[in-house]
Amino acid sequence: MRVLSYNIHKGIGGRDRSYRLERVMEVIAAEAPDIVCLQEVDRNVRRSRYDNQPDRLAEHFAFDHRLFQLNVHVQSGGYGNLLLSRWPMQSHHQVQLTKQRKKARGAQMAVIETPGGPIQLVNWHLGLGERERHWQTRRLLEHHLFCEARKLPQLIVGDSNDWRNTLASGPFVVHGFQHLTAPISRFRSFPAYLPLGSLDKAFWRGSFSHLAAHVPKRRVARDASDHLPLVVDFEL
């Protein structure tokens, strides 16, 4: 089973600054994921031609189960996180991770009924400040709705903005999570055209029988966004 996490940068290329959502779709389709976790998805914003990207993406991939979280408001629209799943969601919640006057951030969490059994999946986009990110991580890991599924296998993916790679040895280790996207030299994902930082990360806890991750680096992936996608394969 496969999860893809991807900051799509509103469908705007990181190098040519051109809006072409079709390139993002091509990148996703090439990896054939069962669950798609996206960040920076636009809805009704001028720069992306007022597209309803959550609808376009869900319809293109024919995923019946979707969840959109609007975090940042822009005029009459905005952008946020999008979760698409081939399989039904037993439950889902949206958690705000906005700290004081910082830019609005959020996390989506869902219990997904995979063919191998239920898992709890989190799709998030963390802030730019290190203290902010540590606060956001603690807020999620200690949230009562997250803790309700602690007996399930748990997988957290998304754009962590963790340039200095301090989350794994900080709040995650305290809560018994392991860092899947290590060593960071194998998981550099930003900027897409010349990746230097390992910002798109995965953390896990629980009874997975197999977990593996990689960062696709095809030419279209280097052009479609300012991030490369992260792919996680798992078995239960």
Model pLDDT for residues 145-179, shown as the tens digit of each residue:
999 999 999 999 999 999 999 999 999 999 999 99
Scanning the chain, the segments in alpha helix (DSSP H) are: 21-31, 53-61, 130-141, 144-147, 173-174, 219-224
pLDDT of residue 162: 98
Apex 196 CA angle, 194 and 198, nearest 5: 125
Amino acid in the structure at residue 161: N
Across the range 113-137, mean pLDDT stands at 98
108 and 124 Cβ atoms separated by less than 8 Å: yes
Nearest to 203 by CA among 169, 172, 231: 172
pLDDT of residue 72: 97
3-27 core/surface letters (b: 16 or more CB in 10 A; e: else): bbbbbbbbbbbbeeeebebebbbeb
pLDDT-derived band at 98, boundaries 50, 70, 90: very high
Across the range 117-125, mean pLDDT stands at 98
135: which 2 tokens? 């606060």
Nearest to 24 by CA among 233, 198, 223: 223
Which residue carries 């705007």 as its tokens? 12
Measured CA to CA in angstroms, residue 60 lies from 11, 29, 56, 161 at distances of 14, 10, 6, 28
pLDDT-derived band at 2, boundaries 50, 70, 90: very high
Phi, psi angles (nearest 5°) of residue 111: -95, 115
pLDDT of residue 137: 98
Q: pLDDT tens, 188-202? A: 999 999 999 999 999
Q: pLDDT tens, 58-75? A: 999 999 999 999 999 999
pLDDT-derived band at 93, boundaries 50, 70, 90: very high
pLDDT of residue 144: 96
pLDDT of residue 173: 97
pLDDT of residue 230: 98
Predicted TM-score (pTM) of the model is: 0.97
Give the single-character DSSP code of 29.
H
| DSSP strands (E only) in 86-153 | 89-96, 106-114, 117-125
pLDDT of residue 83: 98
Mean pLDDT of the chain: 97
